[in-house]
Homo-oligomer: A and B are copies of this chain.
Amino acid sequence: MVQTLITILDWFGLCVFSVTGALVASRKRMDIVGFALLGSVTGIGGGTIRDVLLGIQPVFWIKEPATLLICVIVSCITFFTAHILHHRYRSLLWFDAIGLALFAVTGAGSALAHNVNPMIAIAMGVATATFGGIIRDILGGESPIILRQQIYITAALMGSAVFVALSSFHASQDIAVVSGFVTAFSLRAAALYWGLSLPRYHPRDAQDDE
């Protein structure tokens, strides 16, 4: 039942990350096959890295080809509908925020199911949540989203940590999943809406910066 909830949220995460990949493809004026590649790689990228690191073989979308198919379909739909969105980059950031929060929880959940240390489960949540977007930005020739000012990696970290902590203390899994998602999404949403950021490193001596 909990596993079902995680599976459903995982599929939803694949879809929203595929949309963000397809939106980057739209910014680069790619053709429909480019949309399918960039959307799919973004959708399945984080989970693929998680599976490879954990030693799950073959990776999930080879075992369940439907997950790849849904990414391709969502990307192709975006090719024909992206112009409907009034602000494509703004939309991309919000879809990315939903995917980030979903994968922070489901990535940590998959790792816990493989009996890893809680700290490693949190790290896998962060990796699953952030690497799809990192691959998208590198392949699309964009500046990686992790370099932007607002809270981003921190949101994935906190969501993943809340989920793992509640799971470790035997909370109801539904509560753990929902709490983790709400923590990650609300942090990222607040950062996007109010432009919040954590204190950043600032050099005391500007000239040594090159």
Which A residues have a C-beta under 8 Å from some C-beta of B?
25-35, 37-38, 40, 48, 52-55, 57-59, 61-62, 65, 68-69, 79, 82-83, 85-89, 114, 116-117, 119-120, 123, 126, 130, 134, 138-141, 143-144, 146-147, 151, 153-154, 157, 197-205, 208-210
A151 to B116, CA, bound (A): 40
| Contact A208–B86 (Cβ < 8 Å) | yes
Q: Which of A26, A40, A54, A123 has the most CB of B within 10 A?
A: A123
User: What residues of B have a CB within 8 angstroms of the CB of A119 in the complex?
Assistant: 65, 68-69
User: What residues of B have a CB within 8 angstroms of the CB of A69 in the complex?
Assistant: 119
- Number of copies of this chain that the complex holds: 3
| Contact B79–A146 (Cβ < 8 Å) | no
Q: Nearest-CB distance from A151 to chain B (Å)?
A: 8
| Contact A31–B87 (Cβ < 8 Å) | no
| Contact A200–B29 (Cβ < 8 Å) | yes
A204 to B204, CA, bound (A): 46
Of B52, B87, B144, which is within 8 A of A52 by CB?
Answer: B52
| Contact A120–B62 (Cβ < 8 Å) | yes
User: What residues of B have a CB within 8 angstroms of the CB of A199 in the complex?
Assistant: 31-32
| Contact A143–B144 (Cβ < 8 Å) | no
A65 to B31, CA, bound (A): 38
Q: Nearest-CB distance from A122 to chain B (Å)?
A: 10
User: What residues of B have a CB within 8 angstroms of the CB of A88 in the complex?
Assistant: 203, 208-209
User: What residues of B have a CB within 8 angstroms of the CB of A55 in the complex?
Assistant: 57-59
| Contact A138–B140 (Cβ < 8 Å) | no
